[in-house]
Structure 1
Amino acid sequence: MCSRGAAPGRIMKKQNVLVAETEQRLDVALACMPDIGSRNRAQKVIRAGCVTVDEKTVLRPSHPVTPGCVIRWTSPTVEPMSLLPQALTMDIVYEDESLLVINKPARMPVHPGAGRPTGTLVNALLHHVGGDLPHAPDEPFRPGIVHRLDMDTTGLLVVAKNDAAHRALQSQFEARSVDRHYVGIVWGVPDPRSGTIDAPIGRSARNRIIMAVRPDGRHAITHYETHEILGPAALVQFKLETGRTHQIRVHLSYMGRPLIGDAAYGGATIRHGPVTRNRRAFYANIFDVLDRQALHARSLGFCHPDSGVRMEFVADLPEDIIWTREQLRKDVAHFRG
């Protein structure tokens, strides 16, 4: 459970040993260990070079292990950082004893980070539940968090309230059985108007703060469908098959169709149509109101961790994206190009 009021987090190393009893993949063998807890986390530890099999470092999660293999790994043990409950406004779409579904606003980070100890969804959650929330062994600063949204992406997010719910929901994300649909406004019209972007994503070599499509990146798949053409832009729905950092934003930038307002990935300047004085003023007004990427996590579907019943949630578009869509319809009428 999350510890509150503790000293800032420090990462220490803990040595672990496992003797394989059955033939299976290395990441599967490690996933059941208490300090790892999932295949996703096991893969991260393996790729970081922290795992040996019979004294040899292994970097492939799919590496086969056989009975009698000695697996050793070093896992980070993070001392709890200070997490302060805060009475912040939350739009709670659903809540029961095991989970919450939140409609996250723009400009709210999901969890604390370096130089940002407060003002996050985690701070608000700790105040709301009046106690502790579960977390992964090496992520005490992300209590309750099963998946994330970028700070300036709005929409639906599920939060676990106990360890069993956290494990069950995390397993669904890893099995890709969670349905996540996003809506965004992109520059230009995707060609084809519906399709799939299958392009690996990793840290950008030119700017380590952002991500990029690169051959040595992690597997990433985004499905998309154009819903409305808005002159120099389009309203598009996305379905995530994987969940990489900035995935939709990176894939759209790679296509040459960045999200309107997305300064990090080239969407905060006029990308289509003539750059006239009128249009510069027109879009300066849009960027003043929509001071973020035009992306919203509109729907979320998963099985309840206790009952197994399928649950589906939908969150309407936020006002700034609705307003932007209406303005772009005016651009169709008055600033064709």
Structure 2
Amino acid sequence: MDDRLEQEVSPTEAGQRLDAWLGSRTGVPSRSAAARLIEEGEVTVNGVPEDSKRYTGRAGDVIAVELPEPAAAGPVIGEPIPLDIRFEDEYLIVLSKQRGLVCHPAHGHDSGTLANALVCHCGIDHLGTVQGEDRPGIVHRLDRDTSGLMLAAKDDDTQRALQNLIRTRTLDRRYIALVHGGIAMGEG
């Protein structure tokens, strides 16, 4: 059964984008999950459906959403999904994630993920599980529609070390975007 979240925007929360406000509520796992709920028409503001994640809340607004029941996390099953491995040793894998591939199982994506491919390639017992049993080997993620190099860890110590390097910004990561046409301010 779904749970219903209904809360009033406080004066200190006024001005926050709807996806950010909703993503900070208990029961909504992330800002991107909040954006998905908004896009799917599951969110109302003062009883009226709101389909823009950019809506900025005002003090006293009543925001409501039906929260789907979280899926029970089960073991990630290996699937033979091709991996573009650029480097691999006994500790880690550097791979080029293709556009369209989800990094780990999540609502609406319980198979066909990078995690499933890593389990098939390495075996579940040869991947770090610091991020949880449902994210074997995953050190960081890239959005589904983003391609680029990623790291995967083959044990917990390597996974912690790589995550610490990212957290402290010791590991240098760069992003390049190719844009065609004009992009309006606040878009893209």
Q: TM-score of the superposition, structure 2-length normalised?
A: 0.54
Q: Distance in 2 between matches of 1:94 and 1:30?
A: 41
**Corresponding position: 1:146 with 2:141:** yes
Is residue 2:172 matched to residue 1:180? no
> In 2, are the aligned partners of 1:19 and 1:71 still within 8 Å (CA)?
yes
Q: Hey, what does 1:120 align to over in structure 2?
A: 117
> Residue in 2 aligned with 1:51?
43
| Contact 1:94–1:102 under 8 Å retained in 2 | no
Q: Which residue of 2 aligns with 1:23?
A: 14
In 1: Cα distance, 2:116 partner to 2:31 partner: 31
Offset from partner CA, 1:8-59 (integer Å, 9 cap, x none): xxxx633223321121221221121243344333221111111112222111
How many Å separate the matches in 2 of 1:114 and 1:122? 14
User: 8 Å contact 1:85–1:127 — kept in the other structure?
Assistant: no
For the residues of structure 2 that align with 1:16 and 1:95, how far apart are their CA atoms? 46
Structure 1 residue runs without a partner (length 5+): 1-11, 170-177, 183-194, 201-218, 220-240, 243-337
Alpha-carbon spacing, 1:33–1:126, altered in 2? closer, same or farther (3 Å): farther
Displacement of 1:119: 5.7
Secondary structure of 1:41's counterpart equals helix
Distance (whole Å) between structure 2 residues aligned to residue 159 and residue 80 of structure 1: 20
- Report the CA distance shift for 1:34/1:199 in structure 2 as closer, same or farther (over 3 A): farther
Shift of 1:132: 5.4
Which structure 2 residues correspond to residues 65-84 of structure 1 after superposition, within 5 A? 65-76=57-68, 77-84=70-77
Larger radius of gyration: 1
- Structure with greater strand percent: 1
Amino acid at match of 1:23: A
**Structure 1 pair 181–49 and aligned structure 2 pair: CA distance change class (3 A):** same
How many residues are treated as equivalent by the alignment?
Answer: 155
1 CA distance for matches of 2:58 and 2:144?
A: 39
> Residue 179 of structure 2 aligns to which amino acid in structure 1?
T
Among 196, 210, 214, which residue is 2:179 paired with? 196
User: Offset at 1:196?
Assistant: 3.0
TM-score by length of 1: 0.34
Alpha-carbon deviation of 1:63?
Answer: 1.5
Question: Which consecutive unaligned segments of at least 5 residues does structure 2 have?
Answer: 154-158, 168-172
Contact 2:96–2:147 (Cα < 8 Å) also in 1: yes
- Contact 1:15/1:72 (CA < 8 Å) preserved in 2? yes
Shift of 1:61: 1.0
- CA, structure 1 residues 105+29, in 2 after alignment: closer, same or farther (shift >3 Å)? closer
Secondary structure of the 2:32 match is: helix
- Secondary structure in 1 aligned to 2:37? helix
Structure 1 residues 132 and 42: alpha-carbon distance in aligned structure 2, compared to 1, 3 A threshold: same
Q: What is the aligned partner in structure 1 of residue 2 from structure 2?
A: 13
d(CA) in 1 for partners of 2:72 and 2:30? 20
Name 2:170's counterpart in structure 1.
none
Provide Cα deviations, 1:267-310, integer angstroms capped at 9, x if missing partner: xxxxxxxxxxxxxxxxxxxxxxxxxxxxxxxxxxxxxxxxxxxx
What SS does the corresponding residue of 2:2 show, helix, strand or coil?
Answer: strand
User: What CA distance in whole angstroms lies between the structure 2 residues aligned with 1:94 and 1:33?
Assistant: 41
Q: Is the 8 A contact 1:103 1:154 kept in 2?
A: no
Contact 2:95 2:151 in 1 (8 A): no
Matched, 1:103 2:92: no
Amino acid paired to 2:73: P
